Every structure is written in C-alpha cells, then in structure tokens.
Amino acid sequence: MPSERRPKTAKAKQQPQQTPPPSKGAPNWQVLTLGVVLSILSALFYSHWSGLWDLSAPSPQSTPSQKSAPFMQDEVFYVVNIPGKGKGAIAARDIKQGELILREKPLFVVPRNINASPPKFIYGELQKLSPEGQQAFLNLSYVNFPKGLDPEGHPEEVALAMFQTNAVSAGENVGLFPRMARINHGCSSAFNVVYNWRDWEEQLVVHALKDIPKGKELLTTYTNTKRPRDERRAFLSQQYGFLCTCDVCSLPSDLSRASDTRLTEISRLYTDFAAWGRDGIDGAQAIEFIRKIWEIEDAEGYWSERGQLAADAAWVAASHSDATATQAWARRAREWFSYEIGADTPQVMEMNMFVARPESHKAWGTKRRQNVGGPDRSRGE
C-alpha cells in the first residue's frame, strides 16, 4: 500500500466504465458499469490465500511502526501506520485458523449498472451518510486521481477515486467497507486472511486462513497470485500504484524462481483438470490433477480456494458413483470451507449432507462408474 494513497483489493477493486465514452468537452454520461477487475474461480471469488513460508527476513514494509498509536482499535486487530505502506491492520492477539476476524456492513452499496455520472452518483451516496460514516469514508486513501485536477476543488472526483480504490464485491452490488479496507495485500503464501460477502446477512466477513500470531500484519490478496513475481508486480503497480514487497515478492532470486515455477504449474494443472468437464480425461485422472495441485500448494504454502477445490473433487467422485471418495473429499471440503468462509455457511451444510449420503449429490451417477480415489493415496482412497 503506498504511503500516501492506499489501494484496495483487486478482486474487489471496481473500475467504473462509461458507455459510450463522453465527448470531449461536456460530459455525456450514459451507463456506469462497476465491474470487477479480476474474477477468480467463482463469482464470490473466495480469496482463499495463505502464508506458510518464512524463507526470508520480513520486509521493512511489513513491520509496524512501534511509535505509531493505533489508528483504529478492534477486539481482534488494530490499525497503525506502517512504514512504506500507509495504514495496515495488526493482530491484537493470537488468531486461530478459521477464526472470524471481522463482520462488517457496507457504508453503502452501488448497483453494477446505473445511469448516472459516476462522480456525482458516488458523491451523492456519500452525502447520505451520517457524519461518522462520511468521516470513515473520507479517511480512506486513493490512487489514480485524474491528472490535472486539484482534489480540493473536485470533491466528487475524490469520492469516486476513493470508491474505485476501496470498493469490493457485495453480491450483485459493489460495497464500501472502511474497516476491511485497512487490510493490505500479500501474494501467494504471504496473505493470511480472506473475505467473503454473505447475501443472507447483507454483510462482509473476514476469516483467518491460518494461525496468525499477535503483532503480525493481516494481509489479503488484491489479485490472482498464481503467476510469476514480475507479472504480479506489474499488475499491482499499474492498478494500485505500489511495488509489492510482501514476503513472497521479497524472496531472493533463486527462491523466487522456484516459487514462480510452482505457481505457474498450479495454474497449468487447473487447466488440465478442466478437461474432465469436456470428457477429455476420466475421473481418476481428474482426481490425480487435484492431488498434484494440492501437493504443489503445500510446497508453495498457497492455500487458495481449497474448499472449492475439494468440493470439485467430490463432484467428480459423485459423478462416477464413487461413494467412498465422495465422502472423503466432502470431508476435506467441509474442513477448508470452515476455515475460508465459516462453518455456518450453506457450503459446509451441503458437504455435511454428502458425507452422510454421498448419493444425494446432484451429480451422482452422471458419468460411468469408476473408483476415482480420495485425497490420501497412502490410505488407498
């Protein structure tokens, strides 16, 4: 996060686009489309990321300023100034894997498609907030402010820039969450929390993807980090205006190359696994690809989307009428969904049902019968 204007999560950063473009001179706003820059795996984009490695000394940017008083205090975390990054969230105590860190209602939400001038619309929503809500909004930082404009003379453009920088997906809408907005970015194994929107609660939740010791910075991810360091850095610099120096991006050259190789291989294996849906491979081959993904992620310390990955494996097993494998993968999915999105979610309840009655899976028996295998080869699953 830049020290002056802090960027927000990529999977969530919203890029307003107007169609058609306004003519030069007088604006001619037609349709504002608030689209997600990156959509990874699913519409929810679970952001399931982790940090297991500690192969290098912590980056100076990841060390909180000991002289800074907390900017925002919370039971689980507090916000301080972090050298080189602006503000960041620090664990106030030891946090357990899967623990709920934050539950937050949006200041306001915006439909993805509206007929309005983007600056005027966002500024209008800002004016509807309470004084406390307005202050929470205006305390956020921003990037990509239009060149040649003076922020002091263009409050509507400032409001839009703040929204673009900090907004995240909120179901079918886009929302602004000032507390969650203080969580900075980390790549691959460097991030340790994930966030999700819950339609049935109309609020956003943040869970710990791994154990986080007291004093450690909370990090989520702004982009798909299953790609080499140079590509990640280039994207983050262009979109959010900062050079990433997370623990993964700060690895020595040889370790960084090894990490890049693993991340690239994970992406390739996901592509190979997708061939099962086109009947390009059988169920056992599909499960083997998932096992390989899991093994490489273990080596990398990358725990992204593991609940969904195991649920996909359960789908494959059920399609081939392999009850034992369906149950085994459903148990694995239940475990990781509990960490990533919470034990009180429909996904966990669904996995419980498949553990109890694997034949209840809607994919059951849709492909030829085959023993595809479970997560653990050593147990003959």
* Ordered per-residue pLDDT tens for the chain, 381 residues: 333 333 343 333 333 333 333 333 333 333 344 333 323 223 333 333 222 222 222 333 333 333 333 444 458 999 999 888 889 999 999 999 999 999 999 999 999 888 889 999 999 999 999 999 999 999 998 888 888 899 999 999 999 999 998 998 999 999 999 999 999 999 999 999 999 999 999 999 999 999 999 999 999 998 888 999 999 999 999 888 889 999 999 999 999 999 999 999 999 999 999 999 999 999 999 999 999 999 999 999 998 799 999 999 999 999 999 999 999 999 999 999 999 999 999 999 999 999 999 999 999 999 999 999 999 875 555
SS3 state of residue 353? helix
* Structural domain spans, the chain: 14-240, 253-379
Strand 168-170 with 173-175, pairing = antiparallel
The answer to whether 157 touches 164, Cβ cutoff 8 Å, is no
What backbone torsions phi and psi does residue 174 show, to the nearest 5 degrees? -125, 130
Dig out the tokens for 155 from the structure. 């409050």
SS3 state of residue 212? strand
pLDDT at position 75: 83
SS3 state of residue 109? strand
Distances (CA, A) of 337 to 35, 47, 308: 26, 12, 7
Residue partners of 278: CB distance under 8 A and separation at least 6: none
Distance of CA 372 to the CA centre of its chain: 31
pLDDT at position 379: 55
Measured distance CA(127)–CA(110) in Å, rounded: 14
Measured distance CA(265)–CA(271) in Å, rounded: 10
pLDDT at position 66: 36
What backbone torsions phi and psi does residue 121 show, to the nearest 5 degrees? -65, -50
Measured distance CA(126)–CA(149) in Å, rounded: 20
Of 275, 267, 263, residue with least CA distance to 316: 275
Residues 26-53 as b or e (16 or more Cβ within 10 Å = b): eeebeebebebebebbeebbbbbbbbbb
Q: Token match 């519409």: residue?
A: 43
The answer to whether 308 touches 338, Cβ cutoff 8 Å, is no
CATH 2.170.270.10 fits 14-240, yes or no: yes
Measured distance CA(217)–CA(142) in Å, rounded: 21
The pTM of the full predicted model, rounded to 2 decimals, is 0.79
Dig out the tokens for 143 from the structure. 């990037």
Q: How far apart are the first and last CA of the chain?
A: 44
Cβ neighbours of 163 (radius 10 Å): 30
Of 223, 236, 245, 250, residue with least CA distance to 84: 245
